[in-house]
Structure formats: C-alpha cells, structure tokens
Structure 1
Amino acid sequence: MQVGRGRIRVDPLVVDSLLGCVMAVVTVTYGRQAHAAQYQGEGWPSFGVLAIALSLAVNLPLVLRGRAPWVAFGISCGALAVYTAAGFQPSTNLWAPLLACYTVIVRSPARRAAWAAAATATAWAAAGLAARLSVELSLTQAALGVGVVWAWARGSRRLAQRNVQLAELTAQLRREQELRAQHAIAQERLRIARELHDVVAHHLSALAVQAGLAEYVFASDPAAARQAVVSVGSSSRQALEEMRGLLGVLRTGTESPDEENLYRSAPGLEALDELVRRTRASGLDVTWSVSGQWRPLPSGVDLCAYRIVQEALTNSMKHAGPGARISIGLGFGSDLLTCEVTSRGGTAPAAELPSTGLGLIGMRERARLYGGSLRAGPRTEGGFEVVFTVPLAPLDTAGGA
C-alpha cells in the first residue's frame, strides 16, 4: 500500500487475495448452513470435505485474476463444473466464475473473450438444470447473468483504453508545451542578443572612433578634439537611454503582455536624423534621402529598419574609417520599403576594431522576421553596400496605409 498526495494506493494483488479468501469463506459457511437448514431435507448430498474442497477450488483462484486471468477463470469454471457434476447444490458457487469471466473479458479481445463468456454461460445453464430449474429458466438465468457481465466488462475495457489514450495525449501535449516553451525562450534570447549587439556595438564603436579622433588631434586641433569629446558624451547618454529601454522591456511582466509596449521605448526611422548626426561626429560623411511618400511604419518594422541602418553605419565606422562617404536611401513604395546604405572611400583606421560577423547575421534575421530580404557585400566599383527590403501594407486611394 502506498500513500501519495492524499491517495491511498493498494496493490491489486492484495485486493484480489482478500476477495478470493472472503468469497471462499462466505461460500463454505453459507453452503454448510444452507445444507443443514434446507438442502438436507430436499435430498442434496452432504456439504462435506469434497464439497468444501471444490468450493475452495472455485473461489480461491480469484487471487490470480489480476496476474493470470485465464488461469484463474479456467480453474474456477472447471471446479464449478466438477462441483455440479458431483451432485452438490450449485447455487452457492456461481459468482466466482462470473467474476473471473468479467476479468477475462476486460483483459482480452472480443473474440477470445467470447469463448470465456460462452463457457461461463454453459456452466451457469448446467448449474441451473442441476438445481432442478426448468430449461427456459436456466437458459434465461445464464443469458442474463453473462450478458450483464459482458456489457459491463466491455464498457470498462473501452473506458480503460480511452484513459490510456488520454494519458498518452496528455504526455504528448506536455512534451509539446515544453518544446514550445524552449523555442519561445530561444527566440527571446535571440531577440535580446540582437538588441544588445546593435545597441552596444554601435555606440561602443562610435565611442572608440571618437575617442581615437580626439586623441589624434588633441595637440594639433583642440577644437576638433573638444567636439569629439562632446560627441563621446552624447553617444554615451544615447547608449544609456537605449539600454534603459531594453532593460525595461526585459523587466516587463508576462501577465498582461503588450506587443506594442515592446517597441515603445525603441528608436525608429524618426530618429534617423539623430543617428546620422552622431555618425558624422565620428568623421564620416553621411547623407540620407527619402523617395516616395513618408509614412508611419508598424513598430516592429520601424525598429527593424532603424537597426539595420545602425548596424550598416557601425560597420562603416569599424572598417571604412574617417573620410568615408556614406549615403542612405529610403524608398517608400505602395507596398514595399527599400533601404540602401552605401559606403565609399575613406582611410582604414589605424587599429581596426574586431568583428565577430554577428552584425550581418542579425541584419538578415531581422529582415526574414518581417518577410523581407537583405543583401550585403562589396560593390564592383568599390565600397560596400547593404540593401534591405520589407513588404508593407498597401496604400489605399486616399494615400493612407
């Protein structure tokens, strides 16, 4: 017997043992008392040692019905047949074979169970005839008794099969939920990694370039050095602001998620002018232009376009160096946003900043996230270009999205 979570779980063998012993004791006790009070006067044989032994053989096999149902049924039903053939009053031993038959029907397919039902019905009919009942009554008794057990047992079998199927489905759903949770965690970690890379890499690259410029012209051009130091402070404050926004997203509770709130503190193309200004402070010649009708973008697409432009400028600061000319072109079509960042010329920095290649990976991931595409690589006429397109909601006739 086991106790767990408010339930008492008893070994089925213990239950079957108690059931078999109790039925054997009750049957023997009832048989002796009934013979002394009634059956002796009707001419039935004495309920002696042989009757007791056969009664025990009919009832005690119920101990095995959980472990070996067919063995228990065969012994019990066979002992009942011998008991009836010996001429003893059979009504005292009818129930144990019926219970063994129930177990066989529950545990076996319908074809095999039908043989057990037929054998039990035959034993019951023979017992009814031996008990001096009419043929009709004996057959009716056998049909009703076995029919009720058949219906009950088959219903229990179907219920057990459904319970097994439900348990398997529950386990499968639990595994799928765990996989979905792991996938969601991986996606969130990837999103956080992209944001951290874009924010940290861009601003630290800008700080490194501006600090190097200030050191380089510290003696020859104090005004330029002072301007570079001012740009360092501005870039630092901007980095802190974006980091606070990102940390605010991470600290947002999951009880009432708000998809729009994920990007509320994040920059978009509206902040492109400030981004260009900071990049110019690093010694790069940056220009940008817009073609088509400027319109507000969905927050996710807006952040995606901004981060791609930011990463392209970061790569230019790392590898092109001062004097590079960078042009940014935004094209607003009726159902497509196109962004092109092209860098030309420039002198490579004295100590080129290390690169992990994660920037290009992150840009491509962002583009795919919104159904867009990205192409990045050197230009045939020199320089480097990044071209990004993403589909937008089409404009209506009034010019709105």
Structure 2
Amino acid sequence: MDRVRAVAGRHPMAVDVGLAVLVAAANVPAAAHTGTGMVGWLWFVVAHLPLVWRRRAPVAVFWMVFAVALTVWTVTRVDVAYPVIVILVGVYALARYRPWRQLWPAAAAVEFTLAVAWRQGELPRTDLVALTAILAATGLLGMTVTTRRAYLAELEERARRLERDRDQQAKLTAAAERARIAREMHDIVTHNLAVMVALADGAALTAAAAPQRAADTLATVATTGRQALGEMQRLLSVLRDGDQAPAGPLGLTPQPGLDDLDQLVEQVRAAGLRVTLVRQGTPGEWGPGAGLAVYRIVQEALTNTLKHAGPRATAQIRLRSTATSVDLEVTDDGTHQPDRPPQCPPVSGHGLPGMIERAAAYGGDVEAGPLPGTGWRVRVRLHFDDGKGRT
C-alpha cells in the first residue's frame, strides 16, 4: 500500500484519469440498460469527462457534472442512475479538496433538486431519504479523509521537527563537549609543558656542576611527561569511546580536585617556582565539578606565572572556602617579566577565557591584572547557592 501511495503521489493526473474511467465502467451497465442510443452515450461521456480534473478544480467539476445531470434528467427524460453516482463523486471531491464552507452550497443544491423531484412525484419518499443519507455520508466521508490526512501530515511534520531538534541538540552537545575537551587539553598540555621546560632549563644549567641533580631533574621531567601523556590518552579515549571508555590509568580516571592542589603546588615547586598555598575555611559539599574548576583555575594561573613571571618569582595561593562560595587569589611578585602582557588579555584563547568559562558555570567572575609596581594577580569568586555546586 505504501508503494501504491507513493506511485499515486508521483502521478496524480493518471490516478484521476483512472478513477474517471473506473466510474464510467461501473456505470456502463446502467446506461446500456436504458437503450438511449448515440445521444445518450454522448451525454454519458460528457458527464464523466470532468471527473478527470476533480482534484485540481473540484468546485468547477461539481457544478459541471451537476448541470449535466440536470440536463440528462430534464432533456432526455430517461430514467438513468449514473448521474446520481457522478454527482456523489463530485460532492466527495469537493469535500475532500476544498473547505467545508464550499461544500454547503453544493449539498443544498442537490438536496433542493431531490426535494423538487419528490414534490413533483418523480421521486418516492424512500428514495429521497436514502439519497439524502447517501449525500450526507459522502460529504462526511470526504471531510473525514481530509481531517485524517491533515492530522497525519501534522504528525509527520512534528516528527520531522523533533528529529531536526534532536539533531541540532546533538550537534550543540557535541560542540560543548569538544569545547570542554579542548579546554581540558589546553590546561593539561600547557601546564605540564611549562613545568617540563622549566625543569629542562634547570637541568641544562646544572648538568656540568651537579650531574646527579640534573639527572634527578630529568627524571622529574620524565614523570611529568608521563602524567601529561596519561591524561591526554584518557581524554582521547573519552573522545573515541564516549561512555564506553575503559576504566584505569588511560580510561575514566578520577578528575583532580581540591585535594590535589598540594600535589600541583609540589609539581610547580619542582619546576623552580616558589609557591605557597594558604587555605582558609572549610569547603562545602560542592561536588567534583566545582573542585575540578578550582583546580584548573589554579593550574592555569601557575602556568602563566611560570611562563611570564621570571625565574626568581614567587607566588602565593589563597583559598578561602565557605559552605556556599570560594574566593581564590593567585599572586606573584613578577620579577623580570619583560614579555608579560601589561593588561588582561582579550578573551580569545584558552587560558584566561577558560578561567572565565569555568567561573561563569558557577555564577562567578574573574579579575586578572597587574599589581602596583611589579606582580600579577588573578582573583576568582565562585558561588554555590545550593551548597553543592554542579557536577
């Protein structure tokens, strides 16, 4: 049936011609039984021919076949049944393809004609009732089919809209996930490379005077590199396998949080930057997402310090926690910073914009800029109104 409907949809004119021929073939026995001769067969063809255009011009087709039927009844004075069938086909086409307001005049004209024939004694009362019921059923059938087709078309359109919305939502989700992964990759790669560069520079300077110290430093470089490689492989496995990523050191390992800040500070200290961490207050039950945001912001701030503050710089991290908020401040003394930007850079890369995005996810804000004299300060405030934050 679906294939038949598809073929009919592609060739509507052929379907209308076939229907007109089918109706005419069904009416041939009734017309032949009357023995009307050549004139009668001519009227027979004229009555059925307009049905070919019933879909494209149903109003004109109805009034044409109605006029032909009246002519057959009044001029030929031959009792034939096929004009009634042709009129009913015209009524159905009118109800099927035009608004119901255009159906009422046609139904009224047919019913008036039947009533006149009954009053003149040419139509029995039982035939009047039967034809009236058939006329009403034909009109209702056409309107029902129209309503059903419109309902099905609306369901199909709604399904298409839902599919488009689903695809669009999937694309937005994928874009957001790609942005998150890019931000994580930037934080991991930038920080670890900055630490490795600082350690390698230190090893190069001490290789001649203190070979053992240089060897220890290079071992730390290797350890840092392996950690960075492991985190990158974990993120790549998430990109490749999604929720099916394997557990373990290269799979969905736990994300860093507040408890890992001490390890981060030790890693930066090993790179040569003197860092102190001051904690105040007791963190609330914010969830792992909030802890990861704080960790990454501190990591990015220390990475910028390593890159821009100079070899003899010192940095301080102040973390003030409450049940519903975090106030984070990372400062450095900024010694020997010839390439340090004089003001907060524009939001175009992954460093400061990444901090801003992470803070905005928790209703926070970021302040970054130079201190009076020398030095740099990054201050971040995060708010957790529900005391749990977002995961």
TM-score range, shorter chain: 0.7 to 0.9
Distance 1:254 1:152 in 2: 53
Matched, 1:316 2:305: yes
Q: CA 1:125 to 1:26, structure 2 compared with 1: closer, same or farther past 3 Å?
A: farther
Out of 161, 164, 170, which is 1:172 matched to? 161
Equivalent residue number for residue 370 of structure 2: 378
Superposition map of 1:2-401 within 5 A: 9-10=7-8, 11-33=11-33, 35=34, 46-86=35-75, 87-125=77-115, 132-134=122-124, 136-137=125-126, 139-222=128-211, 224-254=213-243, 264-294=253-283, 297-348=286-337, 357-392=349-384
- Percentage identity across paired residues of the two chains: 32
Distance 2:337 2:219 in 1: 23
TM-score (norm 1): 0.84
Alpha-carbon offset, residue 7 of structure 1: 6.9
TM-score (norm 2): 0.86
Question: Does the 8 Å CA contact 1:291/1:332 hold for their aligned counterparts?
Answer: yes
Q: CA 1:72 to 1:301, structure 2 compared with 1: closer, same or farther past 3 Å?
A: same
Q: Give the aligned CA root-mean-square deviation in angstroms.
A: 3.2
Q: CA 1:257 to 1:129, structure 2 compared with 1: closer, same or farther past 3 Å?
A: farther
Alpha-carbon offset, residue 279 of structure 1: 0.6
Unaligned runs of 5+ in 2: none
Distance 1:320 1:190 in 2: 28
Q: Report how many residues are paired.
A: 378
Partner SS state of residue 328, structure 2: strand
Distance 1:256 1:246 in 2: 9
Alpha-carbon offset, residue 168 of structure 1: 2.7
Alpha-carbon offset, residue 172 of structure 1: 2.1
Distance 1:130 1:67 in 2: 36
Please say which of residues 292-301 and 58-67 is displaced more in the overlay: 292-301
Alpha-carbon offset, residue 254 of structure 1: 4.2
Residue-by-residue CA offset, 1:57-105 (whole Å, 9 max, x unaligned): 2223212112221232122111101001021103232111111111112
Unaligned runs of 5+ in 1: 36-45, 397-401
Partner SS state of residue 94, structure 1: helix
Residue-by-residue CA offset, 1:225-283 (whole Å, 9 max, x unaligned): 3443232122112212322332343344447999xxx9743222211111111111221
Distance 1:182 1:275 in 2: 35
Q: CA 1:29 to 1:358, structure 2 compared with 1: closer, same or farther past 3 Å?
A: same
Distance 2:133 2:168 in 1: 52
Question: Does the 8 Å CA contact 2:278/2:317 hold for their aligned counterparts?
Answer: yes
> Which one-letter code corresponds to 2:90 in the other structure?
A
Residue-by-residue CA offset, 1:25-71 (whole Å, 9 max, x unaligned): 332332222x3xxxxxxxxxx52222221122222321211222123
